[in-house]
Chains A and B, each alone.
Chain A
């Protein structure tokens, strides 16, 4: 239980909770990278996914992209980009975007594709145009899947932002990198626990978000199990 005692000491040290190397500052950095990466990914992936899903074009391309992206080792991609672009925040954000775009894109595309044809016919019969069908029917029905994709992306992004420290920027990964350099196991484990905590909070956040954003009718449908 030595590890546990040292961990408690590490977390309760008041010096740990202030200054530019303190836990709040590191967490803020970590969140800043993650949010920026996720936001850019969503801005790219959601409109493209809605478009390909609505028109039915590019289904094969998104599926292939998804398969390929799942096989890619993230750290390889990050280190390669760093080598090409140089050290700094930019390569980290690029790598995080490359990581987060596929799940959001695929889920958005699939979500729109899976809207029942009968519903689409009904919408068209009511006089809706293509754009209205997309915004008033397909998007709301696809929201649960889109949020799932964003949750998956967000958890991966929060986890992977840890590697930012390996390429010279801040974030919670600093504790792991510095701990490794100083042979300080407590520091490494402490940093890892903070990342786990952040990932769990992210998951809960998205669970809450889907409660807020999913249309009540869809939720009722899901509750009765169709």
Chain B
């Protein structure tokens, strides 16, 4: 027990000593963490920016959805390690080598969620908006998108955890934030402390991001909470039906075999 405690304190000591060494930008833990967060967040944001118009198009022109979904799924089957190396001839050792593949991977989770989120807007809500004289664009921005937010954020939560853990792989092409810590500080020097620090901080970053997304959903959709207490039973039939379907999409054994897709990458 004592040995374990000594080991933990040795790792913590190393992290404290190397947290942000002045004048040595390459080796600090903090700069690596910032780089990690930057690569992951940029990839997720670009993925979302691509998934929203693509999802809209897929809802508008239904025929578009199956081929686009298949394409995205095929991309997802390409291993990240291989994709990073395949990017090298085009993007070199810039951030884009990591960001482009990671953003493409988020699509496999985000696109179905955007589409499901927009599709589950109840018809009477849409008709009410039309009756109030809302045009298509105003309806989309002020009615349909807010209703879809919980489902989209459910997708973002899954995508962000996956992306944050995958950034480390980019260390093999010389990027990768905390992955650099793991590879060059830890593995190449046969030293366990940086590896452990890298793993722990990656997991912490993933969980903090997840908590932020949950918080932002509460802020963005106050009506879900307000209504929740009063109309819990009705809610279950209306909004969360779609939400549950999106969160557990593909968990249904009969459907997942067909569609092979869902918010949970493992269920797909």
* A and B interact: yes
List chain A positions with a Cβ less than 8 A from chain B: 3, 66-68, 70-77, 79-80, 82-84, 102-103, 106-107, 110-111, 114, 141-145, 147-149, 152, 155-156, 158-160, 162-163, 166, 176, 185, 188-189, 191-193, 195-196, 199-200, 202-203, 210, 214, 218-219, 221-223, 225-226
Query: Interface majority SS on B: helix, strand, loop or mixed?
Result: helix
A79 touching B187, Cβ below 8 Å: yes
CA distance A193 to B74 in the complex (A): 14
List chain B positions with a Cβ less than 8 A from chain A: 74, 77-83, 85-86, 88-89, 161-162, 164-169, 171-172, 178-179, 182-183, 186-187, 190-192, 195-196, 198-199, 202-203, 206-207, 250-258, 260, 265-268
CA distance A199 to B79 in the complex (A): 7
Given A74-B169, A199-B77; A176-B161 close (CB under 8 Å): no
Given A76-B199, A80-B199, A214-B257; A71-B265 close (CB under 8 Å): no
Q: Contacts A3-B89, A73-B198 given; 7 further ones with Cβ under 8 A?
A: A66-B266, A70-B162, A82-B187, A106-B266, A145-B256, A162-B81, A166-B172
Given A80-B192, A144-B256, A214-B257; A159-B182 close (CB under 8 Å): no
Closest residue of chain B to A7 (Cβ to Cβ) is: B89
User: Nearest-CB distance from A101 to chain B (Å)?
Assistant: 11
Query: Interface majority SS on A: helix, strand, loop or mixed?
Result: helix
The 9 closest A-B pairs by CB, nearest first: A159-B79, A73-B168, A144-B257, A192-B82, A71-B206, A103-B266, A79-B187, A76-B199, A192-B85
Contacts of B172 in A (CB 8 A): 75, 163, 166, 176
B79 touching A155, Cβ below 8 Å: yes
Given A67-B161, A70-B162, A188-B85; A152-B268 close (CB under 8 Å): yes
B81 touching A163, Cβ below 8 Å: yes
Contacts of A145 in B (CB 8 A): 251, 253, 256-257, 267
B199 touching A222, Cβ below 8 Å: no
Indicate which residue in A160, A218, A225 contacts B253 across the interface (CB closer than 8 Å): A218
Contacts of B202 in A (CB 8 A): 71-73, 76
CA distance A141 to B266 in the complex (A): 18
User: Nearest-CB distance from B116 to chain A (Å)?
Assistant: 15
Contacts of A82 in B (CB 8 A): 187
B266 touching A222, Cβ below 8 Å: no
Given A83-B187, A192-B82, A203-B77; A75-B179 close (CB under 8 Å): yes
Contacts of A144 in B (CB 8 A): 253-254, 256-257
B199 touching A77, Cβ below 8 Å: yes
CA distance A221 to B202 in the complex (A): 42
Contacts of A106 in B (CB 8 A): 266
Closest residue of chain A to B187 (Cβ to Cβ) is: A79
B164 touching A71, Cβ below 8 Å: yes
User: Nearest-CB distance from A220 to chain B (Å)?
Assistant: 9
User: Nearest-CB distance from B4 to chain A (Å)?
Assistant: 13
